[in-house]
Amino acid sequence: MNSEKIIYKLDNNGDKETSLKTTANDVLAKLKNQFGHEYDVTANEFGIFDKDWSHEIKVRKGNKIGAEVGFKWEQSQPEVLTLEVDESSKMGSQITYGILLIFVAVGAYLAYNDMAPLEFLPGKKIAGGLGGLIAIIPGMIVVSIAKSLFLKNEKAQNVQLLNDVRQAVSK
């Protein structure tokens, strides 16, 4: 998914951690105000403030429709907070993790037990790990097909939500 980065300039006065949390809470309040009546707007707990800091706010409606605002701050650029808005539905995550877990497990099993088509991999433990990594490729193809099949009716509404959330956090 193509996501645009939205840049916030932080106030240089005071504590960076307080400034980051205040900005995140302001964005959360803005999203709750605009989308709270129709969507569930939730935020995860604030992470540990260290060299890098991240935070997520999710705007969801049911299992198939959702957007996620990801906050990223790096100490190398202390005055910049980057926001990214991406698609994030519960069903999409379940499809992704479920299918990929199965593919990785099968790939690791085939390679560990010297079974075709992954019998060429060396060793047991290394072969298992490499087999799991190799199996991710067809797994991602199946994930994209499954998502397009199961989430096709909600695609237009998801795109509209992503655009609306981008506009709301860009102001």
Would you state the structure tokens that stand for residue 137, as one six-digit string?
Answer: 């490729």
- Alpha-carbon distance of 111 to 106, in angstroms, equals 9
Q: Rounded CA gap, 166 and 162, in Å?
A: 6
CA distances from 81 to 5, 9, 84, 103, 122 (A): 10, 6, 10, 36, 45
pLDDT tens, residue order, the chain (171 aa): 455 789 988 876 778 888 889 999 999 999 999 998 999 999 988 878 878 899 999 999 989 999 999 999 988 888 889 999 999 889 999 999 999 999 999 999 999 999 999 889 998 999 999 999 999 999 999 999 999 999 888 889 999 999 999 999 986
Helix pair 155-170, 16-35: axis angle to 10 deg: 130
Residues 95 and 136 both lie in one domain: yes
Please give the residue range of the domain that contains residue 52: 5-89+153-170
Which tokens belong to 170?
Answer: 């860009």
The total domain count for the chain is: 2
Instruction: Clarify whether residues 80 and 158 are in a common domain.
Output: yes
